[in-house]
Structure 1
Amino acid sequence: MINTDALCHFFINNRKWVFWVLLAVVATAAIQFPKIQTDTDPENMLPTTDLDRQYHNQVKETFALHDSLVIGIVNPDSIYHPKTLAKLVKVTEFIDGLDSVVHQDILSLATVDNISQKEPGTIQFEWMMKTPPQSDERAQQIRSQVSRLPFLRNTIVSIDEKAATIYVPLIDKNTSFKTANEIRRYIDSIESDSLDNDQWHITGLPVAEDQFGHEMFVQMGISAPLAGLVIFILLWVFFRNIPFITAPMIIAMATVIITMGTLIAFGFTVHIMSSMIAIFLMPIAVVDSVHFLSEFSDNYKKDSDVKEVLSEVVGRLFQPMLFTSITSSIGFYSLLLTPIPPVQIFGAFVGTGILLAFALTIIFLPAYISQLNSKNLEKLIEINPDSEDSKIAGSVRRFGQIANSNTKIWYLVFIAISGISAYGISKIEINDNPVRWFKPDHQIRIADQVLNHHFAGTYDAYIVLEQPKNHTQALINITLDFESKYTLQSEFKNILDEFVNNLEKPDSNLTSTVDDTLFALEDFSFLDISEEQLKLSQDFALQLEEFLENTKPFLNPGNLSYIADLQEYLNTTGLVGKSNSLSDIVKTVNRELHSGSSEDFRLPNSNPAVAQTLLQYQSSHRPQDLWHFVTRDYSQSLVWLQLTSGDNKDMQQVINKVDEYIAANPLPAGMDYHWAGKAYLNLIWQEKMVAGMFDSLSGAFILVFLIMALLFRSFVFGAVAMLPLSLSIAFIYGIIGIIGKDYDMPIAVLSALTLGISVDFAIHFIERLRVNYRQLDNWNLAIKAMFEEPGRAITRNAIVIAIGFTPLLFAPLVPYITVGVLLASIMAISAVATLIMIPSVLKPFHKRVFN
């Protein structure tokens, strides 16, 4: 056992060293703050080794895709007004001048082609609107041209023709907030005519996520100091002695600074989760101090020996404070079980911060209080808020009377609450959407609602189809077989040997290797060679060309027809606003190559005919758009889905529908499919977070129970201590299910966090109750004593933690409001449940349990 008396006197007698060492540690941590690196990318919720994340980024690279802002202009009459279209051109030109965008991929009426028939068999590509229309007639001509191009309809011009968009691809998605603000400022500068009906909106997951990250850091910079102020005011209300309550504030600030400074010093970026460390630690760090100050103020009398009173307080509270600190930290350390790196870092550092706060309470508080002059200490006697006549004291005593009576009724109440909670939990739906992290009146939320009302959707998901085969080995076998059949001239044989060597290289590209060989064979044909060698080289070149043609599955009309049928099915589900694919491009070009009428809006019937349409398309002003939908070797093809909802449950339904369709209509032989896109990636990391939080909660629950059973040396007391927090958490989550609130990211995170914090009340209650019962040997007297100073201390702690999180209620971001409401509610309910439930449960069995 630790000799707390010697420990306390050591820190008191060496208080100057305590102060200087703490100052040095805090200063060392504080100088790390200028090195801070922030990270607002939710993609980093997944580890870099995650296969879904790796595949998503591979798809972006393969198809030259970029995260995009969606700029929308809405006119309630029609978008096809010369003035409105002129603004669209101006904004597009401004965006094209920004360094942060991928210029060639900007998608707007001002940057796309009108595809039309010049004459049968000849197609022409003209800029749709390179310059603004000068007349209504020209505006209507643009309207007519857009209506014939399926790729543009409902993507950059709405079906109701009241809105148009500009897709702004970003070189780096982390610049989305800055880029969006630059565009907003420019739009404000050209919107001078108050009579115009045009309204501008900016949305898209990249800007929503980046703006959330920016506002989150601002909010934390406001909420953490506000929490400190609120806690300081509460402590003043409790103790009315500023020198006395300065100590817990020093402990809280030191805990926050040391924890954050250490995180930065170790090179961790401050992510969305870790930015919340300060707001969590601020109220939690003063919990032990409140117990300490409450106990000291209750025991200190005039002419008391301060050192002896401090020693008694440390001796009495060391064990329960240690227990509560360990269990609280376990609640946060359990987050290490989640597969989400930022959540792991958050849990590790908050858990460590809680243990640091306990250590500082034991080390710093006795040293600090021992150096206060007698005048300050005597004020505790003159104005003792912990007196038996205080409002808190009266309320706590009434709780004691209620808890110690009508035990059977309380059992029925607990059973009823458990039943209601179980019903509510069964109704919970797991769902989230980063755009709904903003309040309904936020510009991002409004833009999302308006543009998704007019268009097919601003949320992107991709289905990637591929037909992988080992074509390389087959081609090597063909080449070796050819060499063995014929006698070849040395130059010819060297070409084939080099061809085989290049194919065998690990990083070889089949298409480019074949093309290089065809060029070499063409050069060979100009040498002084025999007719036989010329014919052999031409035969082999023909074999290569035919082989290469057959290795391009997405030049096959049958495969493109399958994609078109899948798109048609998805459009009937009500979940996908629109889909775009290679087959849409082929159909459009094929129409203009033939009659130009709707009956020729179809797929050609042969591979060469498909290849011809795509060759024609590459004569447009935007040939690179083709490679957004198919790889250059035509072995992979992408279907772009536009969704009007970013909700996880809607994305999951889309996945389910595709799975059902493919099960009923099998893919062409050898073909496979995978998912990518931000909407899909958000589903993945949030699913892993929810599953991880369940594992975390389960693991923490079992571990906390075992530790409490070990610390109390009793499985019974361990189980009893778990009851109030279990009922409280179940009740809160039951209410969430009953009112229809989605189980989203903040709620998932809180499930594990609240366990460690709310069990503190039960630990203090049971430990002090055991001491009282040993001393008094009478249940009623022991319970009555519990609802004096210990009950007041528990109540104060609940108030401090609950109110300490209230600054979050005024945040403009929904997750922080959720955190504030739920944490305050669970803390308050856990304290009430502890004060009522533990006496009610133990009363019928107290003799057996305590003996």
Structure 2
Amino acid sequence: MISKYSDRLLSMRWLAIILSLVVVFGMAAGAKNLLFNSDYRVFFSDEDPHLVAFNNLQDTYTKSDNVLFVIAPKDGVVFKQETMTVIEDITEKAWQTPHSTRVDSLANYQHTTSIEDDLSVANLFEEAGELTASDIESVKTVALGEPLLVHRLISEKADLTSINITLEFPKTLTNEAGEEVRADATILSADVGAYAKELKAYVLEKYPNHDVYLTGTVMMNNAFGEASIYDMSHLLPLAVLLILITVFLLLRSVSATIITFFVVIFSVLIAFGAAGWMHIELTSPVMSAPIIILTLAVADCVHMLSTWISEMRSGKDKVTAMKESIRVNFMPVFLTSLTTAIGFLSLNTSESPPFNDLGNISAIGVLAAFFLSIVLLPALAVILPVKVKQGKTKASSAMVSLANWVISKQKLLLIVMGGIGIFLIAMVPRNELNDVFVNYFDERIEFRTDTDFVVKNLTGIYFVDYSIDAKESGAIANPDVLANIETFTTWLETQPEVIHVNTVTDIFTRLNKNMHGDDESFNKLPDSRELAAQYLLLYEMSLPYGLDLNNQIDIDKKSTRITATLKTISTQQILDYNERVDAWMVANMPELRAPGVSPSVIFAHIGMSNIISMLSGTTIALVLISLILIVALKSLRYGLLSLIPNLVPAGMAFGIWAFISGEIGLGLSVVTAMTLGIVVDDTIHFLSKYLRARREKGLSAEDAVRYAFSTVGIALWVTSIALIAGFMVLSTSSFKLNADMGLLTSIVIALALIVDFLFLPPLLIKLDPWLNAEKKNSTEPKIEATAQTT
């Protein structure tokens, strides 16, 4: 059947090319529907309980999406006329930020004082250029003595200050036709980021004695887009160039290189066009798919083209050579594409939607590469001019020499490779399930460097919110509730991870002192519910527009938000911190117990839960791939044996990772499932050639190993080098999830080649009596079923 297919295909080669182009451009048309989503929330499903809890809190209080604008005077002095003028200027301009709902700074901090029997609420300072040295010193004293400001809007050393811009993005917008349409959060976030950068440029130009740093959740969202743009503009062209150079150097054919280029590019176009038709959103993890697809597509091309070139070297014309290549490669390439696609489809068990999308797009790309390899590639190969020298190559002789060396050292290799494998797999438990989501970006992304500076010198961008619910309208003024909150706040401030705690009790304490003539003896919580309620009402009535207490107290006055700002810590440390806080609440204020929620908490939980979910995905992929191998090899025993070279490389790679990093985060949690389908490729090609030699040619185990090396060894070497090169390019990504995934995948593929060359052959020879003890009449496949690259 395959022979008939190759005859018809090559006789209608131009029709095959036209058909391929119709499919490619028909699918690629869907790319117009692609939209990039930079919101960090895309990493979580809508049903994620931690995201649901966070969204519920956001619906109760003011949103926490923000831009933190940090001003650093070069002389390290905030409290002077020039810098205070900058603060006033930027505070005013910050209100013009698109979708801003609140701006907090030293300039508009609502300072309360007692004037006779009245409460005075006013900006901490105004008209900075007219302040005297005494006025400035007074402002400094107030600011550094106010718990709500230190480590939030002013550094402890008074050398940095910040302006916090709170934003709320609309869910719908009105288009030019007057219709309500869904708002694109990515575009809205980009608009905010662009304005913030314009404001930064304004400060640097007008006030050259000051540096500016930008951080916050909105800037983090924009960083996802920046990382993706960097990867697409730098890494994708580099990957294409590197892979084509590799293919040319190893196959020594310009035509083969050109054909490979078209197949890999068209595979990417089909995959992303299909993503557009399926309305899949582009995210930072998904943007690694082009490199993954073009890298894997090379493998199909190399097997088809290396056989084609080898046949021409033996004296055949290019049409006859291509027919033979299709005959011996069709089934193996189909099986490897199928198993690779299954590996990627298993990513659908991931708890994080972007990895579901990455798996689906990559699977489509792999299957597209198979289609193009058996339709477009053969047609182009027989049309394009090609020059091939007849005779054996040095590479072929090298493979035979390697086979002889492996056979002569088989016992030693079994012991050494087995020992290394056991040692590295034993190191796997040394890895920790951990992540630091701020470190998802490397220093090439400005958000990362700015954030590192701000965290080190002023405040953190990690925070955890607690919504303390008193269950009764107005109960937030209850002295018992306030006393519990104050105790909780005091305890939080003693925790090593905590930089700052924003709590309403600081306001009640200050108001109580103000309403008693600023007497320090009354610098404590009011002891009457009615009094506390009156203080709160009087204070709220005095606040200007946009600076109300909706960010801390709900409209019914029955719940309040406590925000703990944390240092930049790992996911495991966040989980430990949250467990410690919850245990304290259970022991000390169970009736007011509240879960800690925030983006950092959600990221911490998704990293852990994703490891567990991917175990099921890996198991499903392993079972399916094993069944496919058993059927394809027509042997239960060979199918079971294939598990060793399929699983051992990933185990060894994670063992090596324990020495490289020792931390397994969200990105690495999908590597085993993803690479399982990839490393199976080498196993299928080597085992099927070995079986062909044993069953069809009646060769001994040793000679079958030599046959496998001589016929498929070069192809495995070329494809592995190309795959490693492609994924190593991905390892240079500015986005840590993609970079770590690329590096570990490269290690897995390299180890898979080593295992297939140095461990599998000795194992086949050692277990040959057991492997071939099955009934021959039930295990011998047809030639077409096991034929491989020759």
- TM-score, normalisation: structure 2: 0.90
Distance in 2, matches of 1:114 and 1:587, equals 13
Distance in 2, matches of 1:667 and 1:644, equals 27
Whichever residue aligns with residue 380 of structure 1, its letter is V
Whichever residue aligns with residue 136 of structure 2, its letter is A
Distance in 1, matches of 2:349 and 2:76, equals 55
| 2:112–2:514 Cα contact (<8 Å) kept | yes
The aligned residue for residue 187 of structure 1 is 200
Q: 1:20 aligns with which of 14, 18, 38?
A: 18
Q: Counterpart of 2:261 in 1: which secondary structure?
A: helix
Unaligned runs of 5+ in 1: 469-549
- 273-282 vs 324-333, greater mean Cα deviation: 273-282
Q: Counterpart of 1:149 in 2: which secondary structure?
A: coil
Query: Which digits, 9 at most, give the CA deviation of each residue in 1:403-424, with x for residues without a partner?
Result: 3234443333344334432443
| 2:20–2:375 Cα contact (<8 Å) kept | no
| 1:577–1:643 Cα contact (<8 Å) kept | yes
Q: Superposition pairs for residues 356-367 of structure 1, below 5 Å?
A: 356-367=368-379
The aligned residue for residue 157 of structure 2 is 160
1:169 to 2:166 alignment: yes
Query: In the superposition, relative to structure 1, how do residues 687 and 209 fare at CA in structure 2: closer, same or farther (>3 Å)?
Result: farther
| 1:82–1:132 Cα contact (<8 Å) kept | yes
Q: Superposition pairs for residues 101-112 of structure 1, below 5 Å?
A: 101-102=100-101, 105-112=102-109
1:122 to 2:143 alignment: no
Whichever residue aligns with residue 11 of structure 2, its letter is N
Deviation at 1:328, TM superposition (A): 0.6
Distance in 1, matches of 2:590 and 2:524, equals 20
| 2:467–2:594 Cα contact (<8 Å) kept | yes
Q: 1:272 aligns with which of 281, 284, 288?
A: 284
| 1:29–1:262 Cα contact (<8 Å) kept | yes
1:244 to 2:240 alignment: no
Query: In the superposition, relative to structure 1, how do residues 365 and 790 fare at CA in structure 2: closer, same or farther (>3 Å)?
Result: same
1:560 to 2:470 alignment: no
Distance in 2, matches of 1:454 and 1:107, equals 19
The aligned residue for residue 211 of structure 2 is 199
Q: Superposition pairs for residues 679-758 of structure 1, below 5 Å?
A: 679-758=600-679
The aligned residue for residue 453 of structure 2 is 450
The aligned residue for residue 73 of structure 1 is 71
1:131 to 2:127 alignment: yes
| 1:770–1:850 Cα contact (<8 Å) kept | no
Q: 2:588 aligns with which of 653, 665, 689?
A: 665
Deviation at 1:444, TM superposition (A): 2.1
Query: In the superposition, relative to structure 1, how do residues 780 and 447 fare at CA in structure 2: closer, same or farther (>3 Å)?
Result: same
| 1:438–1:812 Cα contact (<8 Å) kept | yes
| 2:349–2:613 Cα contact (<8 Å) kept | yes
1:296 to 2:301 alignment: no
1:832 to 2:754 alignment: yes
Deviation at 1:137, TM superposition (A): 2.7
Q: Counterpart of 2:555 in 1: which secondary structure?
A: coil
Larger Rg: 1
Q: Counterpart of 1:56 in 2: which secondary structure?
A: helix
The aligned residue for residue 573 of structure 2 is 650
The aligned residue for residue 29 of structure 1 is 27
Deviation at 1:441, TM superposition (A): 6.0
1:86 to 2:85 alignment: yes
| 1:646–1:679 Cα contact (<8 Å) kept | no
The aligned residue for residue 437 of structure 2 is 434
Query: In the superposition, relative to structure 1, how do residues 603 and 398 fare at CA in structure 2: closer, same or farther (>3 Å)?
Result: farther
Q: Counterpart of 1:602 in 2: which secondary structure?
A: coil
Q: 2:143 aligns with which of 142, 146, 149?
A: 146
| 2:204–2:211 Cα contact (<8 Å) kept | no
Deviation at 1:751, TM superposition (A): 2.6
Whichever residue aligns with residue 99 of structure 1, its letter is P
| 2:98–2:192 Cα contact (<8 Å) kept | no
Distance in 1, matches of 2:677 and 2:373, equals 19
| 2:230–2:734 Cα contact (<8 Å) kept | no
Whichever residue aligns with residue 236 of structure 2, its letter is A
| 1:112–1:621 Cα contact (<8 Å) kept | no
| 1:283–1:800 Cα contact (<8 Å) kept | yes
Query: In the superposition, relative to structure 1, how do residues 302 and 709 fare at CA in structure 2: closer, same or farther (>3 Å)?
Result: closer
Query: In the superposition, relative to structure 1, how do residues 258 and 610 fare at CA in structure 2: closer, same or farther (>3 Å)?
Result: same
Q: 2:542 aligns with which of 620, 641, 648?
A: 620
Whichever residue aligns with residue 367 of structure 1, its letter is A
Whichever residue aligns with residue 658 of structure 2, its letter is G
Distance in 1, matches of 2:600 and 2:732, equals 29
Deviation at 1:434, TM superposition (A): 2.8
Q: 1:411 aligns with which of 411, 414, 419?
A: 414
The aligned residue for residue 299 of structure 2 is 287
Distance in 2, matches of 1:107 and 1:551, equals 28
Q: 1:773 aligns with which of 694, 701, 711?
A: 694
Distance in 2, matches of 1:247 and 1:706, equals 33
Q: Counterpart of 1:618 in 2: which secondary structure?
A: helix
1:791 to 2:713 alignment: yes
Distance in 1, matches of 2:207 and 2:149, equals 30
Q: Counterpart of 2:163 in 1: which secondary structure?
A: strand
Q: Superposition pairs for residues 470-489 of structure 1, below 5 Å?
A: none
Query: In the superposition, relative to structure 1, how do residues 265 and 792 fare at CA in structure 2: closer, same or farther (>3 Å)?
Result: same
Q: 2:554 aligns with which of 631, 636, 639?
A: 631
Query: In the superposition, relative to structure 1, how do residues 701 and 638 fare at CA in structure 2: closer, same or farther (>3 Å)?
Result: same
Query: In the superposition, relative to structure 1, how do residues 242 and 407 fare at CA in structure 2: closer, same or farther (>3 Å)?
Result: closer
1:842 to 2:767 alignment: no
The aligned residue for residue 181 of structure 2 is none
Whichever residue aligns with residue 770 of structure 1, its letter is L
Deviation at 1:194, TM superposition (A): 9.1
Distance in 2, matches of 1:302 and 1:453, equals 67
Query: In the superposition, relative to structure 1, how do residues 844 and 206 fare at CA in structure 2: closer, same or farther (>3 Å)?
Result: same
Query: In the superposition, relative to structure 1, how do residues 714 and 620 fare at CA in structure 2: closer, same or farther (>3 Å)?
Result: farther
Query: Which digits, 9 at most, give the CA deviation of each residue in 1:657-679, with x for residues without a partner?
Result: 112212322423xx441232222
Distance in 1, matches of 2:363 and 2:82, equals 59
Q: Counterpart of 2:594 in 1: which secondary structure?
A: strand
Query: In the superposition, relative to structure 1, how do residues 703 and 467 fare at CA in structure 2: closer, same or farther (>3 Å)?
Result: farther
Whichever residue aligns with residue 162 of structure 1, its letter is D
Q: Superposition pairs for residues 383-398 of structure 1, below 5 Å?
A: 387-390=392-395, 393=396, 395-398=398-401
The aligned residue for residue 814 of structure 1 is 736
Deviation at 1:192, TM superposition (A): 4.6
Distance in 1, matches of 2:572 and 2:346, equals 27
1:222 to 2:213 alignment: no
Deviation at 1:563, TM superposition (A): 1.5
Distance in 1, matches of 2:208 and 2:332, equals 69
Distance in 1, matches of 2:336 and 2:228, equals 30
Unaligned runs of 5+ in 2: 170-184, 774-790
Distance in 1, matches of 2:444 and 2:274, equals 38
Whichever residue aligns with residue 579 of structure 2, its letter is N
Q: Counterpart of 1:160 in 2: which secondary structure?
A: coil
Q: Counterpart of 1:191 in 2: which secondary structure?
A: helix
Whichever residue aligns with residue 581 of structure 2, its letter is V
Distance in 1, matches of 2:755 and 2:411, equals 16
| 2:227–2:441 Cα contact (<8 Å) kept | no
Q: Counterpart of 2:675 in 1: which secondary structure?
A: helix
Deviation at 1:166, TM superposition (A): 0.8
Whichever residue aligns with residue 111 of structure 2, its letter is N
Deviation at 1:834, TM superposition (A): 0.9
| 1:340–1:688 Cα contact (<8 Å) kept | no
Q: Counterpart of 2:432 in 1: which secondary structure?
A: coil
| 1:208–1:434 Cα contact (<8 Å) kept | no
| 2:702–2:765 Cα contact (<8 Å) kept | no
Q: 1:603 aligns with which of 512, 518, 525?
A: 525
The aligned residue for residue 675 of structure 1 is 596
Q: Counterpart of 1:675 in 2: which secondary structure?
A: coil
- 749-758 vs 299-308, greater mean Cα deviation: 299-308
Distance in 1, matches of 2:146 and 2:542, equals 14
Q: 2:337 aligns with which of 325, 332, 336?
A: 325
